[in-house]
């Protein structure tokens, strides 16, 4: 186990004034590399194969599902898209279905009118400009209507296996609360996390952090007594120093609704 008293290896080195001046936010974590490795090693034991909860069958349905999930729960999106994706799992099929029908399928999701409009518009762009395929770069993805940086990151990670850090409300809270990668904006947190998360854990890190935030380090109350990194955590809000037993969690725990 990592020694919590280790001095931070993440601090900019003393002789890197020039670099530090150019990039003031280089690495802000108060955790040493050994501590960061230990945090993510434990997360990897708890959830060896973390997966997003949004149901999809290909990159296109993933883009649509993620775009629909803004200000909605994954469970709510899945409920609506199950029937939709059965008949429209490609951009062309979505266009053939038309905005009005799409709206009917997703009317249980918040902001559904605008989202239906975006689903049709992004399908149109995929057909017109990308040969009906979902592009594999962030710059191209964020051109799609209704697709922001966070959505693009989720798609790059889940559909194309690229290590990205899609900062949602849970990740933003944890990064600041435990001071792993503090930042005032999601972009700042994303930038810092990409630097402080040990490379070997980067691919799954965003899922681990989301799930940790959703089920343990919750918004209303951090359940530190159930936390496997309670001994390493440097949050001023922490209420317990003893780590919870490190065991693999049953898959059903990952998908349950909480909060």
Closest distance to ligand SF4 from the beta carbon of 41 (Å): 15
**By CB under 6 A, how many residues form the interface with ligand SF4?**
14
- Which is nearer to ligand SF4, 126 or 211 (by Cβ)? 211
Cα(146)–Cα(148) distance, integer angstroms:
6
Q: What angle do CA 4, 220, 70 make, to 5 degrees?
A: 105
The answer to whether 32 and 7 are in contact (CB under 8 A) is yes
- Which is nearer to ligand SF4, 158 or 233 (by Cβ)? 233
Cα(166)–Cα(154) distance, integer angstroms:
6
- Which is nearer to ligand SF4, 63 or 229 (by Cβ)? 229
Contacts of 55 (CB under 8 A, 6+ apart): 65, 78, 81, 82, 85
Closest distance to ligand SF4 from the beta carbon of 216 (Å): 5
Contacts of 106 (CB under 8 A, 6+ apart): 68, 80, 81, 84, 112, 115, 116, 119
Closest distance to ligand SF4 from the beta carbon of 220 (Å): 12
**SS3 for 9?**
coil
Per CB under 6 A, contacts with ligand SF4 among 112-171 are: none
Whether residue 11 lies in the annotated active site: no
Could you give the string, one character per residue 217-246, with x where binding to ligand SF4 holds by CB under 6 A and - elsewhere? x----xxx--x-xx--x-x-xx--------
For residue 217, what are the β-bridge partners?
Answer: 222
- Which is nearer to ligand SF4, 147 or 233 (by Cβ)? 233
The answer to whether 61 and 94 are in contact (CB under 8 A) is no
The answer to whether 79 and 108 are in contact (CB under 8 A) is yes
The one catalytic residue among 28, 74, 115, 150: 150
Whether residue 150 lies in the annotated active site: yes
Residue where the block lists tokens 């051109």:
143
- Which is nearer to ligand SF4, 57 or 239 (by Cβ)? 239
Closest distance to ligand SF4 from the beta carbon of 46 (Å): 12
Helices 74-87 & 59-68 angle (0-180, nearest 10):
140
The one catalytic residue among 11, 79, 89, 168: 168
Stretch that binds ligand SF4, among 130-138, 152-160, 203-211, 216-224 (CB under 6 A): 216-224
For residue 222, what are the β-bridge partners?
Answer: 217
Closest distance to ligand SF4 from the beta carbon of 238 (Å): 4
Cα(54)–Cα(121) distance, integer angstroms:
21
Cα(130)–Cα(165) distance, integer angstroms:
25
- Which is nearer to ligand SF4, 122 or 227 (by Cβ)? 227
Could you give the string, one character per residue 169-208, with x where binding to ligand SF4 holds by CB under 6 A and - elsewhere? --------xx------------------------------
Active site residues: 150, 168
- Give me the residues that bind ligand SF4 (CB under 6 A), please: 177-178, 216-217, 222-224, 227, 229-230, 233, 235, 237-238
């Amino acid at each position: 186990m990592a020694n919590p008293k280790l001095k931070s290896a993440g601090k900019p080195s003393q002789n890197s004034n020039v670099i530090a001046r150019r990039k003031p936010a280089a690495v802000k974590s108060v955790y040493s590399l050994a501590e960061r490795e230990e945090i993510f090693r434990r997360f990897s034991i708890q959830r060896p194969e973390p997966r997003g909860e949004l149901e999809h069958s290909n990159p296109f349905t993933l883009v649509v599902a993620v775009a629909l999930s803004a200000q909605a729960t994954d469970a709510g999106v899945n409920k609506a898209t199950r029937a939709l994706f059965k008949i429209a799992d490609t951009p062309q099929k979505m266009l053939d279905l038309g905005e009005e029908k799409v709206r009917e399928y997703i009317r249980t999701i918040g902001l559904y009118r605008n989202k239906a409009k975006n689903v049709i518009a992004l399908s149109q762009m995929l057909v017109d400009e990308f040969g009906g395929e979902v592009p594999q770069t962030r710059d191209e993805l964020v051109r799609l209507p209704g697709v922001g940086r966070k959505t693009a990151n989720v798609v790059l990670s889940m559909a194309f296996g690229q290590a990205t850090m899609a900062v949602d409300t849970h990740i933003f809270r944890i990064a600041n609360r435990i001071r792993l990668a503090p930042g005032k904006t999601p972009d700042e947190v994303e930038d810092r996390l990409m630097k402080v998360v040990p490379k070997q854990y980067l691919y799954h890190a965003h899922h681990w952090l989301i799930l940790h935030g959703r089920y343990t380090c919750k918004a209303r109350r951090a359940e530190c007594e159930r936390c496997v990194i309670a001994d390493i955590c440097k949050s001023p809000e922490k209420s317990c120093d003893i780590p919870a037993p490190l065991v693999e969690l049953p898959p059903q725990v990952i998908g349950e609704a909480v909060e």
